[in-house]
Homo-oligomer: A and B are copies of this chain.
């Protein structure tokens, strides 16, 4: 069958006819050894197919050479790309990635952090529902564990790799305003469980106000609704006068396009749509999606680099936000309704909450 026996450095030493310390020194190049012994040890290691046990090393050295990473979901390409960026940066440094995902659940978040810490990770790269309220995260830091945040806006006492969600959202409002849009909506999934969505709404709202536009309607969706264009269509249909929607992420924006088609609205003729994130697939649509393009992979790289710096004891100051870009696409056009007076025609609902908000709070 198989040699269930793990070969240890002891076996190597025995076969090479030397002490384990010598074997260790040879295999690690960490001390003196005669060419003769060196030869024997290396041969023995090769013959036995020996490789070090990371566990023994970790126990002895106090470092596990493992980084814990927590993201809400790996299925969301934004986070998948970020993790990819982390992997890239960590590759070759000797650190391995222990990955957990929370499925956007604040409790699972906390538990995952605790488990990661239990695994003796040397550092944490984290995107969670509410990092500011996580007891486990606080405890991890109390233990002296370096923590690097991703996607979160700056938070007291943490270093984070992020884009300025507020500013990016203002940019969208600006574009809408310049094209004559007045009545807008902000569409979001799990609004209450994401500081990113909140900040995007805040920026969008602020700029709309600054431009004298009516407050955007706030539409919150449950996960089920977002995946069913038919339901989304029903929600959008009654919003007469609406000419532009800012979706908190690209998937929602694509769903809006689909829903608009269902109720006979042209995009962008009747309805302009702008997304957020800049996922690749948006480019490939028949009507390419206008969106705020971010660089999740760069975010992962920066977060990882920050953590590596911390692990080396370097000072860790908050870097500036990563850049974003407005991608024009083809889902944004000027508003057809020229009149500005229609503000008075019908009251504009400031907030539309969908019924099935079965969301877990962080």
Binding site for B on A (CB under 8 A): 1-4, 6, 49, 51-56, 58-59, 64, 66, 73-75, 77, 80-81, 83-84, 87, 96-101, 114-120, 139, 141-144, 227, 229, 254-255, 257-258, 261, 280-281, 284-287
Complex contact A258–B284 (CB within 8 A): yes
Measured CA separation A2–B229 after assembly (Å): 50
On chain B, the residues within 8 Å of A83 by CB distance are: 74
Max chain B Cβ within 10 angstroms of own Cβ: one of A6, A54, A141, A286: A54
On chain B, the residues within 8 Å of A75 by CB distance are: 77, 80-81, 84
Q: How far is the CB of A343 from chain B (nearest CB, A)?
A: 33
On chain B, the residues within 8 Å of A261 by CB distance are: 286
Instruction: Using A58-B55, A84-B75 as known contacts, say yes or no to A143 and B97 having CB atoms under 8 A apart.
Output: no
Complex contact A98–B96 (CB within 8 A): yes
Measured CA separation A3–B143 after assembly (Å): 5
Complex contact B55–A2 (CB within 8 A): no
Complex contact B55–A84 (CB within 8 A): no
On chain B, the residues within 8 Å of A80 by CB distance are: 74-75, 77, 80
User: Whose C-beta in chain B lies nearest to the C-beta of A54?
Assistant: B119
Complex contact B53–A118 (CB within 8 A): yes
User: Whose C-beta in chain B lies nearest to the C-beta of A94?
Assistant: B115
Complex contact A6–B143 (CB within 8 A): yes
Complex contact A54–B118 (CB within 8 A): yes
Complex contact B87–A101 (CB within 8 A): yes
Q: How far is the CB of A337 from chain B (nearest CB, A)?
A: 25
Instruction: Using A80-B80, A144-B4 as known contacts, say yes or no to A56 and B54 having CB atoms under 8 A apart.
Output: no
Instruction: Using A2-B144, A77-B77, A119-B66 as known contacts, say yes or no to A59 and B55 having CB atoms under 8 A apart.
Output: yes
Complex contact B51–A118 (CB within 8 A): yes
User: Whose C-beta in chain B lies nearest to the C-beta of A56?
Assistant: B59
Measured CA separation A119–B80 after assembly (Å): 23
Q: How far is the CB of A190 from chain B (nearest CB, A)?
A: 17
Name 17 A/B residue pairs within 8 A (Cβ), A-sorted: A2-B144, A3-B142, A3-B144, A6-B143, A51-B117, A54-B120, A55-B59, A56-B59, A59-B59, A74-B80, A75-B80, A77-B77, A77-B80, A84-B101, A87-B101, A96-B100, A255-B284
Measured CA separation A3–B144 after assembly (Å): 6
Measured CA separation A11–B80 after assembly (Å): 40
Measured CA separation A2–B142 after assembly (Å): 5
Measured CA separation A218–B10 after assembly (Å): 55
Q: How far is the CB of A222 from chain B (nearest CB, A)?
A: 17
On chain B, the residues within 8 Å of A55 by CB distance are: 55, 58-59, 64, 119-120
Complex contact A120–B84 (CB within 8 A): no
Max chain B Cβ within 10 angstroms of own Cβ: one of A55, A284, A287: A55
Given contacts A96-B119, A261-B286, 10 further A-B contacts (CB under 8 A): A3-B144, A49-B142, A54-B120, A56-B59, A66-B119, A74-B74, A74-B80, A77-B80, A255-B284, A286-B286
On chain B, the residues within 8 Å of A285 by CB distance are: 285-286
User: Whose C-beta in chain B lies nearest to the C-beta of A286?
Assistant: B286
